[in-house]
Structure 1
């Protein structure tokens, strides 16, 4: 038996179009269903969505325990890697405190609208709301905490940003047996009494990131609590199953026939040249958005828009050589070029050709482009996708 505590939230995305009732708790229950053990989900739902939430429970085969809330929280994404707008939740919204009589093993995702209190045996805790397990009022005989990099830095009192050092610190301050720090495209760190291990990510040809962190934590809990795997093996398998979810979006999670391989763990920062037109507000917005995400993923990014500037149309002859020299020098020094070819801008196509000539890896985001116009790019083995999230992950690996 595994008790799962976590949110049941509406998730909306504009591009690509997506609308589902999931959230961390419901997604984890669905992901781990039909694995040979019973699941109890504890969550909150509004009355207008209760029927749908309970239908999901019957469909996937887990037990639903829902408390009522006025309005179900919604997360609205412009694209899957955008920071979401949170609907039906405000900073002064009341938090329900719920005491459970159940004991045993728990997978606990932090929630915005509620705090659950229980006495657990084996517990995997994923804070999500920046609330330490110690402050929830719950207890665990054996505790594993799964955090992303931002959460780890938030909880740490260390002046260092070295995740291995932070992991060892949190192991003591959080009174945990295991600390797992997810580090995005760079994998994860597992810290326990045996030491520190690095866990790789697995490469896929498509990346759906919404809910991927939930899947990692759920799989780790399954392997560590139910299957009694050691933390390193549990995290390695969690990384693999997360990649499969990102590739297929299928629940429950399961192995697939297609082979996916772990990526080599990087020892240095990836240098990316961000190419694309920036003549309009819309074009400059997408360049800026992609640059910010690539930097957030730990890459070093050269962007002609940000690092060279916009050409003065009254000084084309005098400034062109200077601008081209800076751009070509940056192309020569980069590891990867991320190119936006929507609109088939001549400058961008030239940058792609130059990059291929000097043996650089080229990732292309091509939306609303006729395949015939991509002939030379396909033929020169550029890596092409029409999905923004996938392109960003591909460039960052």
Structure 2
């Protein structure tokens, strides 16, 4: 393992590596970058590293290379798996002098579009082929969020699904995908498609259990793929309408409004059209806002309801949506017992964790 370490990071890594399972080659620096998250889907607060990060020059047979927030690494390998790992300023594998005879690039659509200078609306298929051409990559795995991933190998594109879980812990999930893919492709000789499929299952296990799976656990883990309905197939194939989610919830205090804003941002980032009455209609007299809110509900495909506080308007909107047969995800961390009985009994998807509520909403939308 080649990395940068400051004093706290050295102690942390030593504690994780007590069995001496791997050899660490480190450049000691004054301060490494650190990250803090308000919740798993939030943009992290990044505490800047010190400027003195000398460049790594590495020659090896096989390598897994993560893009660095600070510092540089020039890697020469026979086989390499590369993940840019830098949403703000992603780089190509070759930008810092790295090269490999057999290269697999694993990245998401946003990173690919930013690297290539392409519009973010460019299809995943087109982005993957352009990355392969630019880098001379043998394999490109293009992660497409809740839909799954596309695997480009020898000019042929295959699809790997993502999987539903009972809980979603997102921090570190991308690292797990890359590590599991590399284990399959580099070490076990799996095809790129099979390595990516197992990586998707390994990621599902991680986000559900908040730890990596053992080999035995992964062999026995059989989650359900996220279903993709006709509406979403049309959207992916030819740019048809996205699924529309009505965002129900109170917005009368700063805390309530913050949750609404975070939910809007997270759902939009996952390619849903969000019909938020706060943003589309706003506050006002009952004779004005109620009809406008209900018109948005009629237009929606499903509902995410923020239930903490049991706001009367939100409760009414949930009942209205259920009467129309729309799926409802009910997110509440603090409500218990009798207050939840009607929602549980009417078939709402009950969730107590924010990131899980967002992904449950996306999975329900994907099935349309």
TM-score by length of 1: 0.83
Corresponding residue to 2:212 among 245, 251, 262: 251
2:241 equivalent to 1:264: no
SS in 2 for 1:204: coil
**Residue equivalent to 2:69:** 112
**Residue equivalent to 2:183:** 222
Cα distance change, pair 60–391 in 1 and its aligned pair in 2 (3 A):
farther
Are the counterparts in 1 of residues 84 and 92 from structure 2 also a CA contact under 8 Å? yes
What is the Cα-based RMSD across aligned positions, in Å?
1.7
Are the counterparts in 1 of residues 246 and 276 from structure 2 also a CA contact under 8 Å? yes
Cα distance change, pair 218–395 in 1 and its aligned pair in 2 (3 A):
same
- Cα offset for 1:322? 3.4
Corresponding residue to 2:49 among 79, 89, 97: 89
**Residue equivalent to 2:33:** 73
Corresponding residue to 1:346 among 312, 319, 336: 312
Are the counterparts in 1 of residues 65 and 82 from structure 2 also a CA contact under 8 Å? yes
Cα distance change, pair 75–358 in 1 and its aligned pair in 2 (3 A):
same
2:7 equivalent to 1:47: yes
How far apart, in 1, do the equivalents of 2:298 and 2:214 lie? 42
How far apart, in 2, do the equivalents of 1:119 and 1:152 lie? 22
- Cα offset for 1:95? 3.8
**Residue equivalent to 2:238:** none
Matches within 5 A, 1:175-190: 175-190=136-151
How far apart, in 2, do the equivalents of 1:247 and 1:94 lie? 38
How far apart, in 1, do the equivalents of 2:144 and 2:341 lie? 36
Equivalent residue pairs, number: 347
SS in 1 for 2:325: coil
Corresponding residue to 1:358 among 315, 320, 324: 324
Corresponding residue to 2:353 among 387, 392, 395: 387
- Cα offset for 1:253? 4.5
SS in 2 for 1:63: coil
How far apart, in 1, do the equivalents of 2:156 and 2:189 lie? 18
How far apart, in 1, do the equivalents of 2:301 and 2:72 lie? 46
**Residue equivalent to 1:277:** 250
Cα distance change, pair 377–46 in 1 and its aligned pair in 2 (3 A):
same
Unmatched 5+ stretches in structure 1:
1-40
SS in 2 for 1:96: coil
- Cα offset for 1:252? 5.0
Corresponding residue to 2:57 among 99, 104, 108: 99
Corresponding residue to 2:94 among 134, 152, 155: 134
SS in 1 for 2:55: strand
Cα distance change, pair 60–358 in 1 and its aligned pair in 2 (3 A):
farther
Q: Which runs of 4+ in 1 moved over 4 A?
A: 157-160
**Residue equivalent to 1:332:** 298
TM-score by length of 2: 0.90
Are the counterparts in 2 of residues 54 and 64 from structure 1 also a CA contact under 8 Å? no
How far apart, in 2, do the equivalents of 1:228 and 1:355 lie? 50
**Residue equivalent to 2:112:** 152
SS in 2 for 1:67: strand
Corresponding residue to 2:337 among 352, 356, 371: 371
How far apart, in 1, do the equivalents of 2:225 and 2:266 lie? 23
